[in-house]
């Protein structure tokens, strides 16, 4: 059975290649910092499941020290000139977007098809990880197609990956770290503690109050954590499952889907989210410009989400 380890291995190979090319880049004064950072990150993907919790914790500490104290340098690998890219875009036209569209197409098709494929009565793909594995297949297919269409040098893909990762810096791994922190919070019982506090201080005898507490909690906790996936287990364990589902008999599927949407509203309004940091870093925007542009939409969607969940989750 193909498990999620295949996707982790592919990611590990990519980051290992970035680390290797960082070592070879003598023009980058911080090449050893970059190589150590991305090499350790690659190690967590390639062998994290066999290293144990303590060793993985040391890797996280090392990543924090390298990124926070030594810092990462920005590389400038050889690439095409703006004129060359403009001429290539004019020649290829809409074909430029084909490799990009292959990834979501494979993710959707694989999610729908892989679950039904069995060999000797056993599923070909781990049913719990179908979407992740299908996305990994899509990435590989898109890379092969891009190489066939554009015929770049073989080193172009890892070099461009290195250029992008160096431009983003440590923020590239922020979603993974925050998701792990959310899991730690859930295991520590933070969600249960929040649920007890809300139950003690708020009048939870009404459905609307429970829905509002859950949705607003998802939004606010996501702003603190920077990731809706980190906030979801905490708020669902503390408010969603015991109150909306347990006490008032709400539909858990509707609650989960709309709870994540409430969390995504929080990601639009927090400096902890990587997608608010990366555009500002790459485009050299003023601090907070991305959040200020997104906040009105986030607030409107959050308010609408409370109303919709109240109307739909108890049907």
Q: Are residues 140 and 268 in the same domain?
A: no
238 pLDDT higher than 90: no
Shortest CA distance to 171 belongs to which of 69, 77, 64, 261? 64
Confidence (pLDDT) at 184: 77
If asked whether residues 10 and 90 sit together in one domain, one would say yes
Query: Which pLDDT belongs to residue 313?
Result: 92
One domain for residues 20 and 114:
yes
Give residue 177's pLDDT band: very low, low, confident or very high (50, 70, 90).
confident
pTM: 0.72
- Please check the confidence at residue 303 and state whether its pLDDT lies above 80: yes
Q: What is the pLDDT of residue 90?
A: 83
Say whether both 165 and 28 belong to one domain.
yes
Domain termination residue (choose one: 110, 141, 169)? 169
pLDDT digits (tens, 9 = 90+) for 61-100: 898 888 878 778 887 777 777 787 788 888 878 888 888 8
What pLDDT score does 311 carry? 92
Q: Which region among 145-149, 165-169, 193-197, 295-299 has the lowest average model confidence (pLDDT)?
A: 193-197
Kindly state whether residues 223 and 271 are assigned to the same domain: yes
Task: Give the per-residue pLDDT at 199.
Answer: 67
- The tally of domains found in the chain comes to 2
Q: What is the mean pLDDT of residues 236-262?
A: 88
Q: Please indicate, yes or no, whether residues 101 and 58 belong to a single structural domain of this protein.
A: yes
* Token pair belonging to 306: 């409370």
> Both 194 and 165 in a single domain?
no
Q: Is residue 261 a part of any domain in this protein?
A: yes
Q: Specify whether 67 is located in the same domain as 135.
A: yes
Look at residue 111 and tell me if it is in a domain: yes
Total residues belonging to the chain = 315
Is the pLDDT confidence value at 204 over 60? no
CB 13 within 8 Å of CB 41: no
- Supply the range of the domain harboring residue 66: 1-169
Instruction: Judge whether 178 lies within some domain.
Output: no
Same domain flag for 156 and 238: no
pLDDT (average), residues 278-302: 82
**Is the domain of 162 the same as that of 240?**
no
Q: Which residues of 89-127 are buried (b: 16+ CB within 10 A; e: fewer)?
A: eeeeeeeeeebeebbeebbeebbeebeeeeeeeeebbbe
The pLDDT score that the predictor gives to residue 297 is: 93
Q: 289 falls in which pLDDT band (50, 70, 90)?
A: confident
Looking at the structure, tell me whether residues 154 and 284 fall in a common domain: no
Q: 180 in a domain, yes or no?
A: no
158 contacts 18 by C-beta, under 8 angstroms:
yes
Q: Which among 79, 76, 67, 62 has a CA at the least distance from the CA of 29?
A: 76
pLDDT at 247 over 80: yes
Whether residue 174 is contained in a domain is answered as no
The average confidence (pLDDT) of the chain is 84
Q: What is the pLDDT of residues 14-59, one digit of tens each?
A: 999 999 999 888 888 888 988 999 999 999 999 888 888 889 889 9
Q: What is the pLDDT of residue 281?
A: 67
Please check whether residue 260 lies inside any domain of the structure. yes
122, 140, 169 — which closes off a domain? 169
Same-domain check for residues 153 and 203: no
């Amino acid at each position: 059975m193909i498990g999620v380890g295949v996707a982790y291995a592919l990611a590990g190979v990519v980051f290992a290649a970035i680390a290797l090319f960082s070592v070879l880049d003598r023009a980058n004064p911080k090449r050893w910092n970059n190589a150590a950072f991305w090499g350790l990150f690659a190690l967590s993907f390639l062998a994290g499941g066999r290293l144990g919790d303590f060793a993985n914790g040391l890797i996280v500490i090392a990543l924090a020290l390298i990124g926070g104290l030594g810092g990462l340098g920005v590389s400038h690998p050889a690439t095409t000139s703006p004129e060359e890219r403009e001429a290539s875009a004019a020649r290829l036209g809409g074909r430029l977007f084909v490799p990009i569209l292959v990834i979501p197409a494979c993710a959707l098709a694989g999610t729908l098809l892989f679950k039904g494929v069995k060999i000797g009565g056993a599923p070909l793909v781990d049913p719990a990880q179908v979407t992740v594995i299908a996305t990994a297949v899509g990435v590989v297919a898109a890379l092969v197609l891009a190489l066939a269409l554009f015929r770049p040098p073989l080193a172009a893909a890892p070099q461009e990956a290195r250029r992008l990762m160096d431009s983003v810096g440590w923020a590239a791994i922020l979603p993974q770290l925050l998701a792990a922190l959310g899991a730690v919070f859930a295991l520590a019982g933070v969600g249960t503690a929040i649920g007890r506090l809300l139950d003690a201080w708020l009048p939870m005898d009404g459905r609307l109050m429970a829905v509002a507490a859950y949705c607003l909690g998802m939004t606010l906790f996501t702003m603190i954590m920077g990731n809706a996936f980190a906030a979801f287990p905490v708020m669902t364990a503390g408010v969603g499952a015991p109150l909306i589902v347990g006490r008032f008999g709400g539909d858990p599927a509707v609650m989960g889907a709309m709870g994540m949407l409430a969390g995504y509203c929080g990601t639009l309004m927090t400096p902890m989210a990587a997608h608010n940091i990366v555009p500002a870093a790459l485009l050299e925007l003023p601090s907070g410009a991305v959040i200020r542009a997104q906040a009105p939409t986030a607030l409107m969607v959050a308010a609408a989400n409370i109303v919709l969940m109240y109307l739909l989750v108890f049907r």
